Amino acid sequence: MPPLWTSVAVSANPCGVTPLRTQVGIVGAGPAGLMLGHLLHLRGIDSVIVEDRSQEHVIERVRAGVLEQGTVDLMREAGVGDRLAREGMRHEGIYIAFRSDGRQVRHRIDMSGLTGGRAITVYGQNEVIKDLIAARLATGRPVVFEAEDVRVSDLDSEHPRIRFSAGGQEREIACDFIAGCDGSHGICRPAIPRQHVTLYERTYPFAWLGILAKAAPTSEELVYSLHERGFALFSMRSQEVTRLYLQCAPDEDLAQWPDDRIWSELRMRLRTSDGWEPNEGEITQKAVTPMRSAVAEPMRYGRLFLAGDAAHIVPPTGAKGLNLAMADVWRLSNALAAFYADGNEHSLNDYSARGLRRTWRAQRFSWWMTSMLHRSDSDNPFDHRRQLAELEYLVSSEAAMTSLAENYVGVELD
């Protein structure tokens, strides 16, 4: 195993700080950065992870909770899936609810049966983070939280650098490669010269008001609902905690949404003709999540590789964000392993093209799910009837249900 944080003789730098040396510098300790560091460790490749937030903040951020089959398999194969196996909730189907013959009806889509046994697992992103942090600390390889003034430079050289302050001291790391896993508001993507990257974006005219509630789930599987008043989603985080979402305006004022109003709206949008509705309980968290899509092309500049939200953002309807990140770092770790094994750069050179193919497929699916299940202020009665017709076709066609199921549980890692 290479020594950690070794000094290295490289060209002089203007900061007057003796640079430390690692093979892969990783900016960001979210799921992408932590999983990449762990996969590299399993291959004997050294890395340093630098994160500008605290460990507690990284863990407690409420994010995605639906893992594709490929993500579950990856965590198990990487040795970080024990708690997932015990506590994760495997779902072999989902429900789609909409108005049919004057009633709000739930229709089940048997994803496992349509995809040869593949499924999703409900397991919160914060739980994934806990598992990956524990694995990182167990390796003894460095992870720096609460780094200040993080920046990257020399990206097109043989020794790109990460500079930051920690503990009141300036630090500099000379790397063979840098992985930008620092999200859509991070510093890595903006460090690419503008003429070398194109950002494709779409902003949706609505958002999600999401809550966590101390209430036992009343459905064993997720329920996606199109209602005349807008979209709603029933999900869960455990056998005691429910996760629910309401479509709302992007500039929604949470002060105008007391708990009673939230539960009233959820009942209206989710209750179905068979009497099903969510349990109510104490709301412990609430937040508004804007809906947007973004793709950075290419996902590489020089020796900087973008992964996860730094490279792409998808609306949460299709549950693709975390899973795309995991596919990115799986691909990148394999490419780096090939390089360090025999100097082969083919997979590194192909990283962006392969990642973008998967990303755009996920963007298409997420856009389709979003447009099928949300009401827009610009919609007229024709648009709503068209949505209902599409949903009627979806739940009556095995081919259409198979297409949804294949995309939702995720294609094989490639």
Q: Which residues are catalytic, by number?
A: 91, 224, 316, 320, 408
Q: Which amino acid is at 82?
A: D
Transcribe 356-400 into DSSP letters.
Answer: HHHHHHHHHHHHHHHHHH---TT--HHHHHHHHHHHHHHHH-HHH
Q: What is the DSSP string of 136-202?
A: HHHHT--EE-S-EEEEEE-TTSSS-EEEEEETTEEEEEEEEEEEE-S-TTSSTGGGS-GGG-EEEEE
Separation between Cα atoms, residue 328 and residue 71, nearest integer Å: 11
Closest CA to 307 of 358, 252, 260, 374: 358
What's the gap between Cα 52 and its chain centre? 19
CA distance 338 to 346: 9
DSSP 3-state of 331: helix
Sequence-distant (6+) residues with CB within 8 A of 48 are: 4, 5, 20, 22, 24, 25, 26, 141, 142, 143, 144, 162, 173, 175
Kindly list the distances between the CA atom of residue 208 and the CA atoms of 185, 204, 214, 228, 286, in Å, as whole numbers in the listed order: 20, 11, 19, 16, 10
Whole-angstrom CA distances from 158 to 3, 175, 289, 321, 336 are 20, 8, 39, 31, 15
Give the whole-angstrom CA distance, residue 315 versus residue 175: 33
Consecutive H or E run containing 327: helix 321-342
